[in-house]
Structure 1
């Protein structure tokens, strides 16, 4: 667990920095510097690009993580890595021609409710390519257990550049339309930097040969394309479907709530950068003992950290929106609670998705992901019409909880392993008690000071209970070593 904790810690720091910058962007700069329609538009464009990403890069960012460790010679590894760059062109080039031919039809279809979308539809394709190849080159570094720099470029660089662009809008150096194109250029720069770093970490010999197991790779990639697209649908379809029913400004209100809630998922995003290739390696070696050990450790550790974020966010949410000082954005308050509960479920799953994707049962991940995507589309269509943007959040929660439970049961059936321990129940009780103890507490001070006071009280009580009940041995040991080093 040493390399996992070390790189996960660095990735967590980077994610925190990225989320801090992104938080300033989403809650203050976007809301005050950019018109709500353009805030909704850029969110729509990026979300739609994310949905297309797995298809356009042929799922190669997942294929690299799964198969790289199975090759033993440098020649095989080089051939494989070069294939991960070239094979996506078999989809990108035909898709480009189809996109040009049917552009008007596509643009008119997705801009029926909001005509502003039409003139920017073509940007979705290019952003999806930039995002996709970034993930492919990022995967090159992950399999070398060098995930920190890529994490920085992914989480910090793009958000910092966006901050600069938003200030440029504020000072009238650029207008809202130029801001949209500026963000696209940032994503292009991001993939160029990631490519250069990937070649710095590992420079493969250029080869146009196909790997010996190309049929197996293509088979896996075809499944993972749909599975990856389905996973992207689960994450992004709400922001795509809201403009088809509501005004595009509603996406802006929804995005703020989603962003705040997504802080709960910081630990799992950080840890996955290093646990995914480790799980792939253990699965390739059929080392189920180590797979189970990591499965349980990640589940409880992620729940402990994510649980604290859950409490801090939801018990301070009213004061946080008061600081934002944009009354129309308070529509997202319930979205924060709903989505953060969904994120807790994802944390509890630990490395479940990595186990499924990197096992011989990876096809079930495809079927489950496809079912999740179809379910969330249907639920979004129904619930957004019924209760507005809160319905989109409810759709996500229902799908995450139901299919998360199915995945855990399936893994237990096939491998006889579970992410849960007795400490999991204790932790859930701690979360429940602390949440309801502070939920009705009102401190009539300036919202900024109220957040500080409540956060200190919540953190002290929560961490004291977690440590006293020995919920996580890993985190207790980390805390002990930290105190020991401080004293020495």
Structure 2
């Protein structure tokens, strides 16, 4: 666990630094520099591009993580083989994109016609993100997650800040902003390439015949099977934003995107831990070490739930103060309850721990595929029904509902097939303390300065959370673990 712990801490630190930059971008810079329509275009183009990435990747990312431990001296050949397959996937996606371009245009023509002029940029962002994702999986297999996370979470957002800042100062126009957006993804990719070269692991070998007998066919078969699950999972995450743009307006998507980003902070610990835990889970399955998987399953659930509930309580108690600092808040505050609904969905997700990762690397990965594909259709249907009735809150309800159903089925399946369970009496205690912290939202402070209100309300939540943790004797292991790993991650 030492490698996992060290990389988890570093990854979490970079993730939260990215959150700080992201918060400045999403909650202040973007709404200040861009009008709601421009912000909607800025977000929708990226969401469309990232939606295409897993379809182009063909499941190669999970395939690399699963099959990497089986290789000893053919890692460079494995990388070149994986990149070739991904580029073939990108060509296929590009052909489909151009083949159905008219239908795609019609999808946005009525409610978001301004987006149509920028659809050509989508594939370029997809290409850069695709290669980056393959390299990220390759680095993850070496338990090197932190620096790729830095480029993805921090550097990319910093470049976006510079780009939009240049627009705010009048140095470039909006068309150049969108062209520059493509360049930011390209520069980020170059950064990851340089890092892998520096590590000495980025070399190319095209002697694919050196693979063990049956390795290539097994790798391709597994990747293609998991590709649908990965693509469907991304669809579940991104489709709501795209559907809001097509069914409501770009302005509505701008409101939704800001609210969604606030709620996204809740799951950041899960994202950091999940990335590092995947190769460890794959290794435990390779050695058939089920007890260690169960231990990791429950440990991650408790730690994620404890930290994420605290973050969610802080965000919701201070939601009005947070929106106070958003430029044109009279427009964007309409997304307040999207934050609540999406945040609840994220809490459900983190509580169920790394169930998807366990399924992906187990012998039951086909079940994860079937379930994820079904759920992607369910969320599209739910959004199609709920968005016309409830607007952006309908999209949030669809996402949260799918999270609950999706995770409940996976939980029951893992419990039945592998006797794995992430829950214990500790889970109930954590939920109780989280509810106490969340309940601080009913306390009404005098209308002082918004910064003072933010401070006092945060201190109140922290105090209630800490007192509840002491009374119920929870969180001590989590804080001791964090302090220990912060020390060991130092120079």
Q: Which interval holds the TM-score relative to the shorter structure? A: over 0.9
Once the two structures are superposed, residues 433-464 of structure 1 have per-residue CA deviations (whole angstroms, 9 ceiling, x without a partner) of 23224423333211111011111121122123
Indicate the SS of the match to 1:381: helix
Instruction: Output the aligned Cα RMSD.
Output: 1.9
Q: Is the 8 A contact 2:256 2:338 kept in 1?
A: yes
The 5-angstrom pairing of residues 88-107 of structure 1 reads 88-100=86-98, 102-107=100-105
Once the two structures are superposed, residues 103-139 of structure 1 have per-residue CA deviations (whole angstroms, 9 ceiling, x without a partner) of 4443344434211111111211111111111111011
CA distance in 2, matches of 1:20, 1:45: 23
CA distance in 1, matches of 2:92, 2:133: 21
CA distance in 1, matches of 2:251, 2:65: 38
Mark the CA change 1:189 to 1:307 in structure 2 (over 3 Å): closer, same or farther.
Answer: same
Q: Is the 8 A contact 2:107 2:246 kept in 1?
A: no
Using the TM superposition, give the Cα deviation of residue 279 of structure 1 relative to its aligned residue in structure 2, in angstroms. Answer: 0.8
**TM-score, normalising length: structure 1:** 0.95
Gaps of 5+ in 2: none
CA distance in 2, matches of 1:480, 1:15: 18
Q: Is the 8 A contact 1:470 1:476 kept in 2?
A: no
Partner of 1:58: 58
Once the two structures are superposed, residues 44-72 of structure 1 have per-residue CA deviations (whole angstroms, 9 ceiling, x without a partner) of 1111112111111222112111110122x
Once the two structures are superposed, residues 277-298 of structure 1 have per-residue CA deviations (whole angstroms, 9 ceiling, x without a partner) of 1111111211111111110110
Aligned partner of 1:279 among 281, 285, 288: 281
Once the two structures are superposed, residues 157-177 of structure 1 have per-residue CA deviations (whole angstroms, 9 ceiling, x without a partner) of 110011111110111001112
Mark the CA change 1:268 to 1:98 in structure 2 (over 3 Å): closer, same or farther.
Answer: closer
Q: Is the 8 A contact 1:140 1:198 kept in 2?
A: no
Aligned partner of 1:448 among 451, 472, 483: 451
Partner of 2:115: 117
Matched, 1:30 2:33: no
**TM-score, normalising length: structure 2:** 0.94
Using the TM superposition, give the Cα deviation of residue 413 of structure 1 relative to its aligned residue in structure 2, in angstroms. Answer: 0.8
CA distance in 2, matches of 1:473, 1:359: 32
Using the TM superposition, give the Cα deviation of residue 35 of structure 1 relative to its aligned residue in structure 2, in angstroms. Answer: 1.6
Using the TM superposition, give the Cα deviation of residue 93 of structure 1 relative to its aligned residue in structure 2, in angstroms. Answer: 2.5
Matched, 1:154 2:152: yes
Once the two structures are superposed, residues 247-297 of structure 1 have per-residue CA deviations (whole angstroms, 9 ceiling, x without a partner) of 211100001100001110110011112111111111121111111111011
Aligned partner of 1:255 among 254, 257, 274: 257
Using the TM superposition, give the Cα deviation of residue 425 of structure 1 relative to its aligned residue in structure 2, in angstroms. Answer: 0.4
CA distance in 2, matches of 1:103, 1:12: 39
Gaps of 5+ in 1: none
Q: Is the 8 A contact 2:79 2:204 kept in 1?
A: no
Indicate the SS of the match to 1:443: coil
Aligned partner of 1:169 among 167, 170, 174: 167
Q: Is the 8 A contact 1:108 1:118 kept in 2?
A: no
Using the TM superposition, give the Cα deviation of residue 101 of structure 1 relative to its aligned residue in structure 2, in angstroms. Answer: 5.1
CA distance in 2, matches of 1:482, 1:45: 39
Mark the CA change 1:468 to 1:200 in structure 2 (over 3 Å): closer, same or farther.
Answer: farther
The 5-angstrom pairing of residues 176-325 of structure 1 reads 176-201=174-199, 202-209=201-208, 211=211, 212-325=214-327
Using the TM superposition, give the Cα deviation of residue 473 of structure 1 relative to its aligned residue in structure 2, in angstroms. Answer: 5.2
Count, aligned residues: 483
Aligned partner of 2:128 among 112, 127, 130: 130
Q: Is the 8 A contact 1:83 1:208 kept in 2?
A: no
Matched, 1:8 2:8: yes
Once the two structures are superposed, residues 3-38 of structure 1 have per-residue CA deviations (whole angstroms, 9 ceiling, x without a partner) of 323221111111111011011101111101012111
Mark the CA change 1:221 to 1:323 in structure 2 (over 3 Å): closer, same or farther.
Answer: same
Partner of 2:42: 42
Mark the CA change 1:480 to 1:52 in structure 2 (over 3 Å): closer, same or farther.
Answer: closer
Mark the CA change 1:458 to 1:98 in structure 2 (over 3 Å): closer, same or farther.
Answer: closer
Mark the CA change 1:21 to 1:218 in structure 2 (over 3 Å): closer, same or farther.
Answer: same
Aligned partner of 1:354 among 350, 354, 357: 357
Using the TM superposition, give the Cα deviation of residue 430 of structure 1 relative to its aligned residue in structure 2, in angstroms. Answer: 1.3
Once the two structures are superposed, residues 299-321 of structure 1 have per-residue CA deviations (whole angstroms, 9 ceiling, x without a partner) of 00001110110100001101211
Name whichever of 189-198 and 222-231 sits farther off: 189-198
Mark the CA change 1:442 to 1:389 in structure 2 (over 3 Å): closer, same or farther.
Answer: same
Aligned partner of 2:375 among 372, 375, 380: 372
Q: Is the 8 A contact 1:107 1:118 kept in 2?
A: yes
Mark the CA change 1:9 to 1:443 in structure 2 (over 3 Å): closer, same or farther.
Answer: farther
Q: Is the 8 A contact 1:18 1:159 kept in 2?
A: yes
CA distance in 2, matches of 1:98, 1:275: 35
Aligned partner of 2:473 among 470, 473, 477: 470
Matched, 1:417 2:420: yes
Mark the CA change 1:66 to 1:445 in structure 2 (over 3 Å): closer, same or farther.
Answer: same
Once the two structures are superposed, residues 66-107 of structure 1 have per-residue CA deviations (whole angstroms, 9 ceiling, x without a partner) of 110122x212x3322221111122222344345445544433
Q: Is the 8 A contact 1:338 1:394 kept in 2?
A: yes
Q: Is the 8 A contact 1:302 1:348 kept in 2?
A: yes
